Amino acid sequence: MHRVKCIVSYDGSNFAGFQIQPTERTVHGELEKALKKIHKGLEVPIAASGRTDAGVHAVGQVIHFDTPLSIEAERWPRAFQGILPSDVNVRSAAYVDSDFHARFGTTKKEYRYRVLASKEADVFRRNYTYHFYHPLDIEAMREAASYVIGTHDFTSFSGSKTVVENKVRTIFEFDVLEAGDEIVFRVVGNGFLYNMVRLLVGALLEVGRNKKVPEAMKDILARKQRGAAGKKAPGHGLYLWEVGYE
C-alpha cells in the first residue's frame, strides 16, 4: 500500500460542509466517490486536516489516503479531474511516509476571511465575501487582533458544537489587510476550535464599527465563556488557506 497526500481546493457554496453526511452533498463524499471509481469499486477512505462548515471554501485543504495502485504522483490530479465535479479540484499529490497523517500531523493552519467593505453589494462575489456596508476602523481592528496573538484559552471564541475539552490554542499571526474594496482577515495558528475564526472576525467587525473598544478582546478572552464574543461572521467569507506540517 502507498500513502498519498493531496492538496485540495473547493468552492463550498453548494456543499453541506466537508465532513461526510448520509443525506447531504459534502466534499468528503465527492472525494471518496471519485476514489471508488479510480479503484474500480474499491472503497478508499480519506482523512483530512480538518472539517469546514457549509458554505466555507478551501484553497489548501490537505487529505491523505492509502492505495494499492502504482500511479505516478503527478498523474493523481489528472485522474481526479475527470471524475470530480467542477467545484472540487485536487491541486497536487505526493507520496508520503506511512506515518504521515493529514489531521494529526499538522503544526499550523492559516485561514483567511474576506469582507466586501462597500456600500454596494457585488452579485458576483455574494458567495465568496461577506458584504459589510458599515464604515470600519481598520487601525482599531488591527489593535484588537493583536490582543489575541499568543497562547490563550479560547473558550469565549468557541461554537456551541465544540466538543474538545482543551480550548487552549496559539495564534502566531493575525493580520487585517486592505485589498481594494475588500478587507482580508488573515489568521495563522497551531489549531482552531469550532467556529473560532468566524467568532474572532465577528468580534473584530464590532470593534471596526466602534461598537466595542479594541481592549474588549482581552476581556472576552478572560471571561472564558461561550457566547461572550457575540455574533459570528457567516461562513461564505471564510477560506481554509494553507495547512503546515513538520
CA distance 37 to 40: 5
d(C-alpha 121, C-alpha 124), whole Å? 9
Task: Compute mean pLDDT per 10 residues along the chain, 246 residues long, and list them.
Answer: 97 95 94 96 96 96 96 95 95 96 96 95 96 94 97 91 84 97 97 95 96 95 89 96 95
**Are the C-beta atoms of 199 and 159 separated by less than 8 Å?**
yes
End-to-end CA gap in the chain:
23
Q: What is the pLDDT of residue 173?
A: 98
Residues annotated catalytic, as ranges: 53
Q: What angle do CA 20, 202, 48 make, to 5 degrees?
A: 25
Within the chain, all domains assigned CATH 3.30.70.660 are found at: 107-245
Let me know how long the chain is.
Answer: 246
Contact 199, 157 (CB under 8 A): yes
Residues of the chain with CATH 3.30.70.580: 2-96
DSSP β-bridge partners for residue 46: 65
pTM of the model: 0.94
Instruction: Provide the CATH number for the domain formed by 107-245 in this structure.
Output: 3.30.70.660
Q: Which CATH class is domain 2-96?
A: alpha beta
Q: Which of 25, 116, 13, 10 is nearest to 63 (CA)?
A: 10
